[in-house]
Structure 1
């Protein structure tokens, strides 16, 4: 029966994604409790200082602020465009009558049936759609920052540097989530060639992301994180 051929898919694919999810849950905990030991927390703190500096001396730095935010928007736009183009290609493959699995039947392990192949492509399509959604929302928030960061001092005290910084952090958070979803599609893409590659790719991505997400060369942050840093809520 078909399910007997898919036992590797049932075991290795969920196990690989469980490792990735567990890592990101741990990363989220570290960002909330010890932000200065992570690149996400450190960069977030730096962005809040940057927004305050731009709004304090807006007459001299308004062009710099607009150009910097424009570069952020261009990066999110590129990722959103890539995600939706990949969604379009996957939708075309799913709706095609050509059976793409025939040349691979003798080359991979795991299930080769119509249901398993459809599951692989639909999973990829879903991941890329959510990535596009996150990047689109990120562009929306950063566009708002692009307008508000050049506003004159607000007598009512509503449009403050703290408010603009919060909007910017929401945009960057959505951009980060969109990028991580895009990265998660790599193991799913390798699933076409078998579940073993999914598990190996997930194992490989965790140490790579760890080296990118944590400040390994600086241990001062661990001792600097106490009272005030525990109130870090922007990421």
Structure 2
């Protein structure tokens, strides 16, 4: 049966996706409930303090704020550019190797040929990079707004340090989502070598991200650190 050719893909690839999705849902839960136990929560708290300090002493530190946001915009621009370049390359590969005149029953009733599976891999990568580009572009939009508002007087009735901090956190959150989507494209790239590398890569990536996302107690020094 044709199903036997794809049963590993139907089992391991969705399992890999579920591992990544479950980990990030758990990470989001910890960020909401115990923010200081995660690197994202601790950095967000530090950024709020930084914005408040900059706006209180704006005359002396406005250049520091502009330089900091410039570097942040450059990072998001680099990731957005990388994503859209990948999209262009994948779109060229798909248009040259996959015929759109194939019958639609393959997509409805399941794959019956190798060409469909190869095209599915390319299309999945294309969608991931498109979403990564979108989130990084939105991040640049918000950080650009913060770049203007950070120099406003703090005693304004609308533009307060809390409002600016919320915009800044929105920008960093969108950038983080864009990065994680790009990370998730790595196992899909390995799908070209089979479903087993997808599962191994997803498990390894989740393990690495866990050590980077959470803060751990240092029993010797009594300090919290991330690996």
TM-score with structure 1 length normalisation? Answer: 0.85
Are residue 144 (structure 1) and residue 142 (structure 2) matched?
Answer: no
Deviations 1:43-96 (A, max 9, x none): 000000000000000000000000001100000000000000000000011011
Corresponding position of 1:197? 197
Q: Please, which runs of 5 or more residues in structure 1 have no aligned partner?
A: 100-110, 223-235
Structure 1 runs (4+) deviating above 6 angstroms are: 219-222
Q: Please, which runs of 5 or more residues in structure 2 have no aligned partner?
A: 100-111
Cα pair 2:191 2:198 within 8 Å, conserved: yes
Corresponding position of 2:59? 59
Are residue 68 (structure 1) and residue 58 (structure 2) matched?
Answer: no
Corresponding position of 1:171? 171
Corresponding position of 1:230? none
Cα pair 1:120 1:192 within 8 Å, conserved: yes
Corresponding position of 1:214? 214
Corresponding position of 1:126? 127
* Larger relative contact order, structure 1 or 2 (CA cutoff 8 Å, min sep 6): 1
Corresponding position of 1:226? none
Cα pair 2:83 2:133 within 8 Å, conserved: yes
DSSP 3-state at the match of 1:32: helix
Q: CA deviation at 1:221?
A: 9.3
Are residue 39 (structure 1) and residue 39 (structure 2) matched?
Answer: yes
Distance (whole Å) between structure 2 residues aligned to residue 208 and residue 58 of structure 1: 39
Deviations 1:106-129 (A, max 9, x none): xxxxx9611111100000000000
State the superposition RMSD in angstroms.
Answer: 1.9
Distance (whole Å) between structure 2 residues aligned to residue 9 and residue 209 of structure 1: 24
Q: CA deviation at 1:206?
A: 1.1
Distance (whole Å) between structure 1 residues aligned to residue 176 and residue 170 of structure 2: 10
Cα pair 1:12 1:198 within 8 Å, conserved: yes
Cα pair 1:137 1:174 within 8 Å, conserved: yes
Are residue 26 (structure 1) and residue 26 (structure 2) matched?
Answer: yes
Distance (whole Å) between structure 1 residues aligned to residue 98 and residue 13 of structure 2: 26
Aligned length: 210
Cα pair 2:58 2:151 within 8 Å, conserved: yes
Distance (whole Å) between structure 2 residues aligned to residue 98 and residue 144 of structure 1: 42
Distance (whole Å) between structure 2 residues aligned to residue 26 and residue 221 of structure 1: 24
Deviations 1:152-205 (A, max 9, x none): 2444x1000000000000000000000000000000000011111000001101
